[in-house]
Structure 1
Amino acid sequence: MQSHVLEPRALIPARDAIVAIAFIGDLSMGRATDQSPRTAWLAMALARAAACSDAEIAAVEICALLRWSGCTANAAGFERILGDDVAGREAMMALTLPPLNADAQSQMPEMAQIHCEVAGDIARMLDLGEPIETALRHTFERYDGSGLPGVLHGDAVPLAVYIVALASDLEILSRAHGLPRALQWIESRAGQVYPTGLAALLRQHAADWLAQLDGFSSQNTLLPPALNATHQPVALELVADIADLKLPWLAGYSRQVATLAQSVALALGLEAAQAQQLYRAGLIHNMGRAALPNALWNVSGPLVYAAWERVRLVPYWTRRAAQHTAALAAEAELASYAYERLDGSGYFRGVTGEAIPTERRVLAAVVAWCALVSRRPWRAAYTASDAAALLQAEARAGRLDAAVVDAVIAHATGRLPTRKTATLLSERETDVLRRISLGESNKEVARALVISPSTVRTHMESIFRKLQCSTRAAATLKAFTLGVL
């Protein structure tokens, strides 16, 4: 299958990719944006105290950073179960969520399966090695065998799973309830969630380790440069795809923005380096969306004031990514201007005119165009002519740059060379997966393609077999990475 992998157009150091994915995970789980790095530091400290080897300690760090890497993939499921997928999962981790009813409980194995399959696939795509991949595929296993997916227990569970679970519990519960209560909970879980001896070792050092953590002035202190030592650069497109998984109708959206922004920049005469930076900014402009619950994005009709205030923070969270990922600092700054407008009516800064140079104007116009021509839960996609009319109206009103809008429309509606896709799937399988990736049900796909639901199921079974996965989220992620979609 490796021979089908699409050549990436943007590469970043492995360290920055892993930290960016951790940042997206923390936002999606409603956690503080330093939660995964702090957990990684605590996990490494516990691994050292447990006399783990250097290789095991390095694996523990990465497992802790990527523990929530699959959480965008099942966000839609948690929206269905909890209503607010962000706050609900935050409460679940802090042990403050009210008991789930029987129906919700019955859906938890599926949520765990989606999460673990995607996290494991991410580890494989990052070429992190079998131990890390295996640990991430069993993130929610428990010592007594009552975890999820529930196929391993006791010493058969990778040690990294227990170490990261303990570090995560200490980090989350001590913030939510204070250290004494957190230690009581950890003690009550010993022998059930994790080994008794390992839990006792953590409790012995917990106060000192948390004091050291609180003494750090910067999150970057928690992340040693050695994280890059043995790993090749990573495709930034993968980070974009992981962010887009949060909402099924966003599949491939960041790639679309990135590609069009780069093309328009070159058409306008910007330097190749500026166009490439726009491509990278387009890939990450959607990261901040993870901080808001899916239910907010799926609202039909105008948003109330309080909801709009939250939406206005999306580019702020994208910009915050710059403080976590050094290789993306300039791109994150540029991406955070995606919703600014020339007349000051945009967000989050509300800047005007001269504060928005050409590359920022390009990104704003491209994001607006791509949103208009994409289907949303509350409306069908606009036709190219309707989208062009709406964008031109924005330019006449002084909100978007007229010359840039003309270039976007001309380029987006022209006959552009299309990227050659892999032939791993048949044409019909690709049609089915394209619709499935956007959140359509089997019945909806069947109606659109004029085939029976049973034929859709047959195609999906073939797709899963060819892509070596078992969930729709994992198939979507792999399809974009392999160039199938």
Structure 2
Amino acid sequence: MATADTVGAPHVHRHELLAALSRGIDLCMGQPMGHTLGQTFISLVLAERAGLDADERREVYHTSMLSWAGCHVDSLEQARWFGDDHRVKAEIRTVDLGDERAEQEFIARQVGAGQPWPQRRRTIAAFPVEGVRDTEAMFENHRHAAAALAEALDVPVRLCTGLDQVFERWDGAGEPRGLRGAEATFSARAANLGDIVMAIHRAGGADAAVAVARARRGTQFDPDLVDAFCDEADEIFGTLDAVEAFDAAMRVCPSLDDLLDDEALDRALLVLADYVDLKSPSSLGHQSATAALVGAAADDVGLGATERVDARRAALLHDLGRLGVPAAVWESQGPFTPAQTQQMRLHPYLTEAILEPFPSLRAHGRLACLHHERLDGSGYPRGISAPEIPPAARLLAAADLYASKAQPRPHRPAIPAAELPEVLRREVGEGRLDAEAVEAVLVAAGHRRHRRREWPSGLTEREVEVLGLAARGRSTAEIAALLHVSPKTIGNHLEHIYTKTGARNRATLSVFAMRHGLLADEPPSRVRDGDGEFTP
């Protein structure tokens, strides 16, 4: 069983968070994970060849890693005009936007693509005014969002001076200021080239990437950078084929002194949570709301101090994979089609895949991946059941469902707060959510605790369950197996039990249990009574 106890992540660096985010942004651009890191590797190789010093190459790293970080903030508008926002961002890299005819042909193909003809006709009719307005704003939206992210993550300004220039062109026909030639920073020019050749290499190999670089030499791209890239192309792509893109970039990047302490990490994860939620307007604030519930409810389900921190951090990352699902799916006005359902159900898996290359974040991703699993095996993406779902994941599932139902979605209104307890308790009754986790979340959200028997010495129902088994001589491991939780969770419960009861060992615990009538033939368990409440 994968448990929250295995999280205990090592120290996290800011550049690792940027790298992890970039893998989600890659998917949002219709590229494979590692695209931006590959672009950054290329930029750093070119910087080294050009003789840039260590500080200048650090700036190259940050500008490149943040260059497309804002591309998801207007996904709703992209989907409205072009259908699949991922597809349009992937295909635009194959077009030289300095060629007016090629640009017009591209727009004609993309506007309303995939829509039924009556809807597409309306989209085409509206595009010359509303669509042009929205698309012209997109470059500025992306630059603004990337700069805001850099500021929120405390990236020094000196490390991303090229961030507002990544849409400029060598020939002066770019955005926003029409900078010409070397008026744009080296980092912006290198990121621009690295982005395109990575995308072309994916589709057609190294020869195709070299051909496109040469075709746009002196128009979109810096001629000297094109020449340097073409000289190094085989070696560059050979390295990226053989080595994880993050490792390749780190080999050529000067050391980055950006270790985050616990407080800084929590701030950074909160920033990323809210930033990722920008992908879908209907889910703004969802991850931070879920994390707040997890943090407030963790004590009630017996999570230890480390588990509490790790569960809350996993909650702040749990929907990172939503970046990999087109906006048209999230903003669908009706029930999901079978194809949309398949896409939607990928997002927990994508969260795990995005974080997997980073040892400091990997276990958070594995825990976050479980937030749509259900005790009866009906969840996704893996369809695992109770024995494989640790307490932290059960809590995350309950908190995620509560926070989701409390928000409106394009296909339904928000569920009123007064009705949410019934919704979550129905999930318990049907065997999908954990009763203890649900009650803890409801209390954390301000609802009254479910009616239950008052146990002696302030013991909780789960603690009584554990006490009964311990008094009978069951080991910590045996109790964990019987209750489908981790040994560490049982250890936390036992620590609380001994503190509350004053017992010193199993024998004195048995005496306490006997005196208070806690040694029935069967340990107490939660059953539904006639009025729908759970009682011992």
With normalisation by structure 2, the TM-score equals 0.72
Q: Distance in 2 between matches of 1:15 and 1:262?
A: 26
Q: Which moved more, 1:155-164 or 1:297-306?
A: 297-306
Cα pair 2:19 2:246 within 8 Å, conserved: no
- Residue in structure 2 matched with residue 338 of structure 1 by the alignment: 371
Q: Distance in 2 between matches of 1:225 and 1:154?
A: 26
- Residue in structure 2 matched with residue 375 of structure 1 by the alignment: 408
Aligned CA distance change for structure 1 residues 271 and 382 (closer, same or farther; 3 Å): same
- Residue in structure 2 matched with residue 192 of structure 1 by the alignment: 219
- Residue in structure 2 matched with residue 140 of structure 1 by the alignment: 167
Aligned CA distance change for structure 1 residues 125 and 410 (closer, same or farther; 3 Å): closer
Q: Determine if the alignment matches structure 1 residue 113 to structure 2 residue 140.
A: yes
Aligned CA distance change for structure 1 residues 99 and 229 (closer, same or farther; 3 Å): closer
- Deviation of 1:160 after TM superposition, in Å, equals 0.7
Structure 2 counterparts to residues 399-478 of structure 1, below 5 A: 399-414=432-447
Cα pair 1:13 1:228 within 8 Å, conserved: no
Cα pair 2:26 2:35 within 8 Å, conserved: yes
Q: Distance in 2 between matches of 1:120 and 1:66?
A: 8
Q: Which moved more, 1:331-340 or 1:55-64?
A: 55-64
Cα pair 2:349 2:369 within 8 Å, conserved: yes
Q: Percent identity?
A: 28
Q: Determine if the alignment matches structure 1 residue 47 to structure 2 residue 47.
A: yes
Match of 2:338 among 301, 305, 322: 305
- Residue in structure 1 matched with residue 114 of structure 2 by the alignment: none
- Deviation of 1:128 after TM superposition, in Å, equals 2.9
Match of 1:174 among 195, 201, 207: 201
Q: Distance in 2 between matches of 1:365 and 1:170?
A: 44
- Deviation of 1:158 after TM superposition, in Å, equals 0.9
Q: Where does structure 2 lack aligned partners over 5 or more consecutive residues? A: 1-9, 97-102, 109-126, 450-536
- Deviation of 1:216 after TM superposition, in Å, equals 1.9
Cα pair 1:79 1:295 within 8 Å, conserved: yes
Q: Which moved more, 1:124-133 or 1:112-121?
A: 124-133
Cα pair 2:39 2:198 within 8 Å, conserved: yes
Amino acid at match of 1:20: A
Q: Distance in 1 between matches of 2:62 and 2:16?
A: 12
- Residue in structure 2 matched with residue 99 of structure 1 by the alignment: 106
Q: Determine if the alignment matches structure 1 residue 28 to structure 2 residue 61.
A: no
- Residue in structure 2 matched with residue 68 of structure 1 by the alignment: 68
Aligned CA distance change for structure 1 residues 43 and 156 (closer, same or farther; 3 Å): same
- Residue in structure 1 matched with residue 278 of structure 2 by the alignment: 245
Aligned CA distance change for structure 1 residues 225 and 383 (closer, same or farther; 3 Å): farther
- Deviation of 1:319 after TM superposition, in Å, equals 0.7
SS at match of 1:68: coil
Aligned CA distance change for structure 1 residues 221 and 160 (closer, same or farther; 3 Å): closer
Cα pair 1:15 1:227 within 8 Å, conserved: no
- Deviation of 1:205 after TM superposition, in Å, equals 1.6
Structure 1 runs (4+) greater than 6 angstroms displaced: 225-228
Cα pair 1:121 1:133 within 8 Å, conserved: no
Amino acid at match of 1:142: R
Amino acid at match of 2:195: S
Amino acid at match of 1:29: M
Q: Distance in 1 between matches of 2:245 and 2:205?
A: 22
- Deviation of 1:365 after TM superposition, in Å, equals 0.8
Q: Distance in 2 between matches of 1:331 and 1:364?
A: 14
- Deviation of 1:229 after TM superposition, in Å, equals 2.9
- Deviation of 1:60 after TM superposition, in Å, equals 1.3
Structure 2 counterparts to residues 284-295 of structure 1, below 5 A: 284-295=317-328
SS at match of 1:399: coil
Q: Distance in 1 between matches of 2:82 and 2:358?
A: 31
Aligned CA distance change for structure 1 residues 79 and 132 (closer, same or farther; 3 Å): farther
Amino acid at match of 1:68: W
Cα pair 1:21 1:242 within 8 Å, conserved: no
Match of 1:205 among 220, 225, 232: 232
Q: Which moved more, 1:312-321 or 1:198-207?
A: 198-207
Aligned CA distance change for structure 1 residues 239 and 359 (closer, same or farther; 3 Å): same
Bigger Rg over Cα: 2
Aligned CA distance change for structure 1 residues 181 and 296 (closer, same or farther; 3 Å): same
Q: Which moved more, 1:290-299 or 1:97-106?
A: 97-106
Aligned CA distance change for structure 1 residues 415 and 390 (closer, same or farther; 3 Å): closer
- Residue in structure 2 matched with residue 321 of structure 1 by the alignment: 354
Cα pair 2:282 2:331 within 8 Å, conserved: no
Cα pair 1:262 1:278 within 8 Å, conserved: yes
SS at match of 1:400: coil
Q: Which moved more, 1:403-412 or 1:335-344?
A: 403-412
- Deviation of 1:95 after TM superposition, in Å, equals 3.6
Q: Distance in 1 between matches of 2:39 and 2:70?
A: 17
- Deviation of 1:250 after TM superposition, in Å, equals 1.8
Q: Distance in 1 between matches of 2:226 and 2:321?
A: 35
Q: Distance in 2 between matches of 1:225 and 1:211?
A: 15
Q: Distance in 1 between matches of 2:48 and 2:249?
A: 15
- Residue in structure 2 matched with residue 125 of structure 1 by the alignment: 152
- Deviation of 1:127 after TM superposition, in Å, equals 3.2
Structure 2 counterparts to residues 343-362 of structure 1, below 5 A: 343-362=376-395
Amino acid at match of 1:393: R
Q: Distance in 2 between matches of 1:140 and 1:105?
A: 18
Q: Distance in 1 between matches of 2:237 and 2:79?
A: 33
With normalisation by structure 1, the TM-score equals 0.79
Aligned CA distance change for structure 1 residues 179 and 228 (closer, same or farther; 3 Å): closer
Q: Distance in 1 between matches of 2:439 and 2:282?
A: 27
Q: Deviations over 1:402-433 (max 9, x none)?
A: 222122222213499xxxxxxxxxxxxxxxxx
